[in-house]
Amino acid sequence: MKTYSKNQLRRYPVYLRVLRELEAKGNGFVSSNQIAQLVGNSEEQVKKDLAAVSDASGMPGRGRDLRRLVHDLEAFLGYHDVTRAVLVGAGRMGQALLDYPGFQQMGLDIVAAFDSDPVKIGTRLGETEVKDVATLEEFLSLEHPDILIDCVPASAAQAIADIAVRNKVPGIWNFAPTVLDVKESTIVENVNLASSLAVLSHRIKPLLS
């Protein structure tokens, strides 16, 4: 099996986005050079990245078949399969994710949401019913979702992760601002706003007066 670095994996959805935009504008072909300019990477990197997931190689003076490239990227990213997720923590961040229009396109189906707040339990957010977090463990053991989206406050995030690990949920998508301690058999991907802000703040420093 090929191996891909995290940074490389992160680039594929960005390629897909610019390719879809080109397709929507009526283009049928695209060159590596065009893609490189649109995403701001080197042409060499674009060629290497695309070769790893698609054999839609370019024809001289014409470029690559755009529709085929889009298809291959979607297939590689798993967008043609359904990934079943549960979301825990229906606060603003959780609600923002339940509302996020892009997930359906990515094959991500949030099948249930959980919260501990009696005011929220039983209500619907979009198409998803908010269930009592006390029933989370039973739900996981019966429904075996692929991903648990952890959107609870930092102080509660580890307890939720423990329930996921106990019930062998393969992946935790962690939006809680804390480091989760899980067994190696569970994969954690953190969306860390503090880390993202650290990069931005450092890079704008020379521009501040």
Q: Binders of a copy of itself: how many residues, by CB under 8 A? A: 56
* 190 vs 178: CA distance, rounded Å: 9
Helix (H, G, I), strand (E, B) or coil at 59: strand
Binding a copy of itself (rule: CB under 8 A), the pick from 24, 26, 127, 185 is: 185
Residue 111 interacts with a copy of itself (CB under 8 A): yes or no: no
Yes or no: say if 178 and 162 are a contact pair by the CB < 8 Å rule: no
Beta strand pairing call for 128-132 and 124-125: antiparallel
Min. distance of Cβ 62 from a copy of itself in angstroms? 24
- Which region, judged by CB under 8 A, interacts with a copy of itself, from 9-17, 25-33, 56-64, 109-117? 9-17
Residue 25 interacts with a copy of itself (CB under 8 A): yes or no: no
Q: Tokens representing 5? A: 């670095």
Q: Which of 136, 139, 138, 193 is nearest to 161 (CA)?
A: 136
Query: How many CB atoms neighbour CB 55 within 10 A?
Result: 8
Yes or no: say if 48 and 75 are a contact pair by the CB < 8 Å rule: no
Here's the x/- map for a copy of itself, 74-93, by CB under 8 A: it reads as ---xx----x-------xxx
Site for a copy of itself in 131-150 (CB under 8 A): 146-147
**Residues contributing to the site for a copy of itself (CB under 8 A):** 4, 6, 9-14, 16-18, 38-40, 77-78, 83, 91-93, 95-97, 99-100, 102, 106, 108, 146-147, 170-171, 173, 177-179, 185, 187, 189, 191-205, 207-208
